[in-house]
Copies of this chain bind each other. A is one copy, B any other.
Amino acid sequence: MSKSLIVQKYGGTSLGTLERIECVADRIVKLRKTGVDIVVVVSAMAGETDKLLKMARSLSKNPARREIDMLLSSGERISSALLTLALQSRGIPALSMTGRQIGLQTDSTHTRARIKSIDAQRARKMLKENHVIVVAGFQGINEEGDVTTLGRGGSDTSAVALAVALGARQCEICTDVDGVYTADPRLVPQARRLDVVSYDEMLEMASLGAKVLQIRCVEFAHKYKMPLLVKSSFKERDKGTLICEEDPKMEQPVVSGIMCDKNQAKITLKEVPDQPGIAANIFEPLASASISVDMIIQNVSEQGHTDLSFTLEREELNEAMVIMKKVAKKIHATHVSSDAKIAKLSIVGAGMRSHAGVAAQIFKTLSAHKINILMISTSEIKVSCIIEQKNSKLAVTALHDIFKLENKPVKKNAKNKTAKKMSAV
């Protein structure tokens, strides 16, 4: 068998300056000394993608997604070449590879393409020849040979997909946070890092806008049982959070995390004629434009008319509004409006299943702080509320407090140990 392989992904902040690129190179040199094969997946240097997007938007109101992909994919190429140079100058045989060169084939949904396959033949050959491979994350090519990108968090997805394709031991997501927290530590200082999170819980958190990992990346890891370690690019000794199969020894806390996604927007259609097929008329055009709708609320019908609101990612608001204005005309809705100043507050916990009254406790807490709830959506293990963006911090802090998330849950086996000790006394 060949050496054990680790895939490490470094995010944009970790590669944001030349000094940071040098630090990452130093870390990889150390890791290599432990005798493992290494594939590094890189994001664009921090700020680069935003800079390019801003330029694109100043030139075109609705920039073509194919061109956005051509534009943005350059960012990862740059950082992959730079990190490769830093490794080479440390005497490490290293090689940069683009999405195409790593054989990452996607569908043609530009700016959020899905991975279809990875032909890692060349990567395997290069690893055998003792190279560290530095892969431009976030990108692939479609059947026509056009460059595609994988959407937000795409580099994480690239990393997990490569880890699976190459049979890595572990996929490490090195980023500017040192793990998965009970809440965003920038919002809630007393937030606590979780040592281990199950794929299932992480999936919920990711789907609810936890910035640490994107849902696709976790889904991918879950599907192929690839252990995912989220850790800091800066604090080398930090253990980070391991995302893996559920550990039956883990105590399930009622609430394990609170997330607040500010990257949300709401569109409302007023006085929509309440007829069968209307919902399809509204949501089909969005689906064909690959725009994901999150929550949907329809008011009780009044005189054959109803108001309909839905939420979506803020960056898709402009495109969705263009579509909705056409749709509104077609279905004779009187008015279309949007609100980009909202946030989605979500409370997740596998233990919710067995504890009644969690939702009630949430609503009570928000109400006590005079925070208005605009929309509600619940599932077995989560409660989500749309609130005004300005209330985000207050809401998260209050709920973190109520559910006592700053305290570490006691492990079952730890409990048992104590029990034994006590009985021995």
A contact residues, total (Cβ < 8 Å): 38
Question: Min CB distance, A89 to chain B, in Å?
Answer: 4
Question: Min CB distance, A109 to chain B, in Å?
Answer: 18
Q: Are B70 and A81 in contact (CB under 8 A)?
A: yes
A160 within 8 A of B: no
With A96-B67, A145-B101 as known contacts, state yes or no: A59 contacts B85, CB within 8 Å. yes
List residues 59-83 of chain A with CB under 8 A from any CB of chain B. 59-61, 63-64, 66-68, 70-71, 73-75, 77-78, 80-82
Q: Are A77 and B81 in contact (CB under 8 A)?
A: no
Contacts of A71 in B (CB 8 A): 77-78, 81-82, 85
Contacts of A78 in B (CB 8 A): 52, 71, 74
Q: Are A59 and B77 in contact (CB under 8 A)?
A: no
With A55-B18, A70-B98, A100-B145 as known contacts, state yes or no: A63 contacts B85, CB within 8 Å. yes
A175 within 8 A of B: no
Considering the complex, give the chain B residue whose CB is closest to the CB of A51.
B78
A232 within 8 A of B: no
Q: Contact mask A404-420 → B, CB, 8 Å, 1/0? A: 00000000000000000
A61 interface neighbour in B22, B66, B89, B147, Cβ under 8 Å: B89
A84 within 8 A of B: yes
With A22-B59, A67-B96, A101-B145 as known contacts, state yes or no: A77 contacts B73, CB within 8 Å. yes
Considering the complex, give the chain B residue whose CB is closest to the CB of A64.
B88
In angstroms, Cα B70 to Cα A77, docked, is 7
A313 within 8 A of B: no
A423 within 8 A of B: no
Question: Min CB distance, A20 to chain B, in Å?
Answer: 11
Contacts of A74 in B (CB 8 A): 74-75, 77-78
In angstroms, Cα B80 to Cα A147, docked, is 13
List residues 18-56 of chain A with CB under 8 A from any CB of chain B. 18, 21-22, 52, 55-56
A146 within 8 A of B: yes
With A59-B21, A74-B74, A74-B78 as known contacts, state yes or no: A84 contacts B98, CB within 8 Å. no
With A101-B146, A145-B100 as known contacts, state yes or no: A59 contacts B80, CB within 8 Å. no
A58 within 8 A of B: yes
In angstroms, Cα B68 to Cα A220, docked, is 33
Question: Min CB distance, A39 to chain B, in Å?
Answer: 16
A86 within 8 A of B: yes
Contacts of A56 in B (CB 8 A): 81-82, 85
With A18-B58, A101-B146 as known contacts, state yes or no: A70 contacts B80, CB within 8 Å. yes
Q: Are B60 and A86 in contact (CB under 8 A)?
A: yes
Q: Are B84 and A67 in contact (CB under 8 A)?
A: yes
Considering the complex, give the chain B residue whose CB is closest to the CB of A84.
B67
Q: Contact mask A82-123 → B, CB, 8 Å, 1/0? A: 101110110000011010110000000000000000000000
Contacts of A77 in B (CB 8 A): 70-71, 73-74, 77
In angstroms, Cα B60 to Cα A18, docked, is 11
In angstroms, Cα B67 to Cα A100, docked, is 16
Q: Are B82 and A96 in contact (CB under 8 A)?
A: no
Q: Are B85 and A60 in contact (CB under 8 A)?
A: yes
In angstroms, Cα B141 to Cα A101, docked, is 11
**A to B CB contacts below 8 Å, 23 in the list:** A18-B59, A21-B59, A22-B59, A52-B78, A59-B82, A59-B89, A60-B85, A64-B84, A64-B85, A67-B88, A67-B96, A70-B77, A70-B84, A70-B96, A70-B98, A71-B78, A71-B81, A71-B85, A74-B74, A74-B77, A74-B78, A101-B145, A101-B146
Knowing that A56-B85, A67-B96, A71-B81 touch, tell me 6 more A-B residue pairs with CB under 8 angstroms: A22-B59, A56-B81, A59-B89, A67-B81, A70-B96, A98-B147
